Structure 1
Amino acid sequence: MNKTVNINLAGVFFHIDEDAFLKLQRYLEAIKRSFTDSQGRSEIIADIEARIAELFSERIQNDKQVVNSSLVDEVITIMGQPEDYLVDDEIFEDEPQASRQRRPQGSSKKLYRDTDNSYIGGVSSGLSHYLGIDMVWVRLLWILLALGSGGTFILIYLLFWALVPEARTTSEKLTMTGDPVNISNIEKKIKDGFDSVSDSVKNVDFKKHGDRIKEGFDQVSDNISDAAKKVDFQKQSDRLKSNSKNFFDTFGDVLLFFLKLFAKFIGVILIITGISALIGLIVAFFTVGITNAVHFPGWDFVEASNMANVPIWLMSTLLFFLVAIPFFFVFYIGLRILVNNLKSIGNVAKFALLGVWLMALIGIIVIGVKQATERAIDASSVSESYLDIKQGDTLNLKMVTNRNYSRNFYRNSHGYHITRDDNNEKIISTSDLRLIVRSTTDSVARLEIEKVAYGSNFDIAKERADNINYNYDFANNELALDSYLTTNADNKFSDQRVELILYLPEGSYLYADDNTRSFHRNSSWYNDILDNGQEGHYLEIITDDVICDTCPTDDDDDSIKVNIDINGDKGSLKINGEDGLNISRDSLNISINGEGFKAEGTDVKVKINDQDGVSITTDSINQ
């Protein structure tokens, strides 16, 4: 059982066992001794501690995990020993440059915003470090993309500005440029910062500070000389050999590279998909859903179908959040794939967006239920008119169209059109008409018009049915029926339809035009006596039926063909179109065909046909 202690490293709390704590303490004290007289010593130590805390945080799975000695050894290997970085490059002047630029394990390049070289937010300079491209070209590319996309990439730039963290600490600035975050580079970075500050300071006593710097360099030189004597080159050689990779390690690295490349590609696809959808939704929301600045061609149908009378701005807002929030997370996930160190939007923001999305979903469901209830009840409005058609008269029936409302003679039970009348009012028109012809014992004909509509309750449905406009014209024994119905757009499209029931006296005649075919169906459900195919013929009205003398008839003989052939041990039965009926049993044979009836037995034969009449023959009688 090991004893654990709690430490505060760069403002981050860790649980660490006692052995690991002592090892880490000795390591940090050795580093402090190495930079005793160095300029910026406190800043160097603070950044080293911050880097160690960062490495611990990356490797700890949860807050309760304890930092052990193996983890401390791993971090020390990444950061390097203090004496390893006190050796000046001059000692290895004869060695190739590449051998001295060994990048420790764990170093990698990450995307940060470089505010030290920024004009606006440091996004372009950060991307230039991450991609290895000069800042000038990155900034020029942003400008071209912003102009070419109509401002779309300005929004992308703002999202990068908000989500990509700024490189504040020395370790973050080193990670941004891809340099190893170790003691040597941290020291060099801080000293470079001091040098840049000193260059900008005027009226400084350079001689005084020069002497101090000279003394510092002399001391560093002495330290380097002492450290060089302590370097165990054999140990370093063994370490290089032990770290050499075999074939399988190389293959694994190559495979991992391609997997990472594929993941980056997926991230790019997600970013493009998410940002494209978000831009389209934002444009549609502000131009169509709220301001109606752009008249969307199908928006009239949305308004006409809105039977629940939900405000368009409310429906647009709910739909926007319902669709936009998932696409925002698609974009965010793609960005997280590309940028390892992307700032989290925080749990508060995540739960807030989830709450907004759930409210939008519930709102859409409520609107959908309300919309569905608008078709719960149907009501009708019935009117009838008498036509001066009596027994013996002929009624000519036809449909008429209107170029504004209906241009063809076709019944449409679902679709509708939106147009404007002479007063520039929006009008809904549809061809949902049904024509039914029935016989009556009344002396004159009559036309019954039933208008039907739906609503959430009977009163609303009845009002919508009453507001249906339908017209016809009757003159000189000719009935012209409109092939459409209309209603004001304020009544919404609530499946309005019209049923036309034409009652004709028995003994009268009907001539239906061909353009009525689509509007009627002969059916027992509607008791319609006008059948399809009878258009264009004069029909005599009888009780619940019509007589058509000029309609084509089918040939029953040609329409029915039966072929039956049954054979048994004691007889046979054959029925076909050529031989007719033939029955054979024992000594009896009966045939019925076009030649008549013929029966043959052992003692008697019977034959009946048109030529011979009836003929009966026996052994002794022939009649």
Structure 2
Amino acid sequence: DVENKYIGGVCAGLEHYLGIDSLWIRLIFIFFALATGFGFIAYILLWILVPEAVTTSQKLDMKGEPVNISNIEKKIKEGYDEVAERVKGVDYEKVGDKVKSSGRTFFDALGNVIMFFFKVIGKFIGILLIIIGAATLIGLFVGLFTVGTLDIIHIPGMDLYSIFGATETPVWVVSLLTFFVVGIPFFFLLYLGLKILINNLKSIGNIVKFSLLGLWLISIIGLVILGIQEASAHAYSGSTTEREVLYLPAEPDTLMIRPRSSELFDNQENIGFNHMTLTYDENGEQLLFSDDIRFDVTRSSDSLSYLKVRRHADGNSMADARERASNIRYSYALEGSTLSLDNFLTTGIENKVRDQEVHLTLSVPEGTVIGFERGMRRHIGRLTRYDKDIYRGDLVEYYWVMGTNGELQCLDCPENMNSSWGIDEEDSQIIIDENGLDINMRDGRESFKLKIDENGVEIKADDDDE
């Protein structure tokens, strides 16, 4: 009700809807504004969102009266009577009207100041949206479109996309889809900022808006399909296993386990993925190269020694996984009492990166003496059992003999030896004293050690990644 307003006419308008004097409504708004701040926010929102009653029909609608000829006539008559009444009492109401007009002028000025304040905030938000939208679009254009064209030339790292990607989708297609998915929302953010700053900004039109929306949805669907294809490439795990008898010398001798490296180490690319890197053979052909090799020692069920080689890989089906596993190239050699094991595996780049790994299990009869060269430290697996409380990697420091219970027994370990951490006989312990905090957690052969004292923090964990 703008005719009886003090600031925006919100309370005067609510008087007609609620049937409560506008004075009480104003007091309620002031109370909630001072107590919680909600009254101020609610008043501003109503002032912005609720339309003003200007025409005769709007004024009737505001008061809940039907808009018809009779009510319009009544409204006009009331206006005429009100004017006549004021003319009659002009001498008595002159001072009051003057005071009222001064009060309304003050509140009109206050309202203008508040609206100006909100307009300034709106302009600031508009500038912020423009900066965010424009910076994101420029970054996407420079980044994604540059990457999308890099597959035309050979640069380090681009080969990796082709070796672990499940689809043959070109890099530029993926970059373009990503640009649309991320860029279109930020374009509309930029457009919104321009609309806030420029009142008469020309609309881009519904055709463009719906076209961009459709392009955005199509791009999202495309990326989802590519993501599903990538995930399905690792849906199944398959393996192939070979078991060969090792004919050791008739005379008892220490069986030495020796890692065998290759010049392929020197030809690796600097960038890798999941233990896998690119390398080149002597003919300059590309190969996938990995050092994901695990080696365990167990007791043989008879008097012979065996070496079991299990090749493992992922695929989009069990048959595909087994096919990729069978294509893993791995070799070993037994020369007298020395077993040389490749500490790497290779496969063709057409097999792609599918979590390829090789797990070796050496089964020896009871009484066989075994020694490890130091290069085997990081390849000893979890299934190897031994009688000393040391980490798996420390097995290379001593000689071992296979016991009747399938557990390696140390031949040259110091008596009452513990691990280099000074672990007590208890498997798990937490010690807090004047020296600091000492935590040792042990579960079977898995160990974790955390030590905090005046010298700093020491952490050691026994896991596959050393």
> TM-score, normalised to structure 2's length?
0.60
- Deviation by residue 1:90-126 (Cα, 9 ceiling, x = unmatched): xxxxxxxxxxxxxxxxxxxxxxxxxxxxxxxxxxxxx
From 432, 439, 445, give the equivalent of 2:299.
439
Q: Please, what is the CA RMSD of the aligned residues? A: 3.9
Number of equivalent positions: 326
Give secondary structure in 2 for the equivalent of 1:345.
coil
Query: Following the alignment from structure 1 to structure 2, what is the Cα–Cα distance between the partners of residues 413 and 504?
Result: 35
From 171, 181, 194, give the equivalent of 1:335.
194
Query: Following the alignment from structure 2 to structure 1, what is the Cα–Cα distance between the partners of residues 273 and 380?
Result: 12
The reply on whether 1:430 has 2:290 as its aligned counterpart is yes
Contact 1:288 1:296 in 2 (8 A): no
- Deviation by residue 1:527-582 (Cα, 9 ceiling, x = unmatched): 655972332211112331222121234389x847xxxxxxxxxxxxxxxxxxxxxx
Query: Following the alignment from structure 1 to structure 2, what is the Cα–Cα distance between the partners of residues 306 and 493?
Result: 8
From 318, 325, 332, give the equivalent of 1:472.
332
Aligned counterpart, 1:503: 363
CA displacement at 1:517 relative to structure 2? 2.9
CA displacement at 1:319 relative to structure 2? 1.8
Aligned counterpart, 1:371: 230
From 504, 526, 551, give the equivalent of 2:413.
551
What is the identity, as a one-letter code, of the residue corresponding to 1:336?
K
Query: Following the alignment from structure 2 to structure 1, what is the Cα–Cα distance between the partners of residues 313 and 290?
Result: 12
Aligned counterpart, 1:534: 395
Aligned counterpart, 1:120: none
Identity %: 37
From 331, 342, 353, give the equivalent of 1:493.
353
Indicate the structure whose relative CO is greater, using CA pairs within 8 Å and at least 6 residues apart: 2
CA displacement at 1:302 relative to structure 2? 2.9
CA displacement at 1:510 relative to structure 2? 0.5
Contact 1:287 1:293 in 2 (8 A): no
What is the identity, as a one-letter code, of the residue corresponding to 2:370?
L
- Deviation by residue 1:257-293 (Cα, 9 ceiling, x = unmatched): 3433333233223222222222232334443325635
Contact 1:534 1:551 in 2 (8 A): no
Aligned counterpart, 2:255: 395
Q: How does 1:126-165 map to 2 (within 5 A)?
A: none
- How has the CA–CA distance of structure 1 residues 331 and 502 changed in structure 2, closer, same or farther, with 3 Å as cutoff? same
Give secondary structure in 2 for the equivalent of 1:534.
helix
Q: How does 1:217-366 map to 2 (within 5 A)?
A: 249-290=108-149, 292-293=151-152, 297-366=156-225
What is the identity, as a one-letter code, of the residue corresponding to 1:521?
G
Query: Following the alignment from structure 1 to structure 2, what is the Cα–Cα distance between the partners of residues 306 and 467?
Result: 18
CA displacement at 1:343 relative to structure 2? 1.5
- Deviation by residue 1:361-409 (Cα, 9 ceiling, x = unmatched): 122222222222222222222234443424622111133444644899x
CA displacement at 1:318 relative to structure 2? 2.2
CA displacement at 1:498 relative to structure 2? 0.7
- How has the CA–CA distance of structure 1 residues 295 and 435 changed in structure 2, closer, same or farther, with 3 Å as cutoff? same
Aligned counterpart, 1:457: 317
Larger radius of gyration, structure 1 or 2?
A: 1
- How has the CA–CA distance of structure 1 residues 384 and 337 changed in structure 2, closer, same or farther, with 3 Å as cutoff? same
Contact 1:512 1:535 in 2 (8 A): yes
Query: Following the alignment from structure 2 to structure 1, what is the Cα–Cα distance between the partners of residues 331 and 186?
Result: 51
Unaligned residue ranges in structure 1 (runs of 5+): 1-58, 72-237, 561-623
Unaligned residue ranges in structure 2 (runs of 5+): 1-47, 59-96, 419-423, 427-466
CA displacement at 1:435 relative to structure 2? 0.8
Query: Following the alignment from structure 1 to structure 2, what is the Cα–Cα distance between the partners of residues 502 and 270?
Result: 65
Aligned counterpart, 2:63: none
Query: Following the alignment from structure 2 to structure 1, what is the Cα–Cα distance between the partners of residues 279 and 321?
Result: 23
> TM-score, normalised to structure 1's length?
0.46
Query: Following the alignment from structure 2 to structure 1, what is the Cα–Cα distance between the partners of residues 240 and 104?
Result: 89
- How has the CA–CA distance of structure 1 residues 538 and 285 changed in structure 2, closer, same or farther, with 3 Å as cutoff? closer
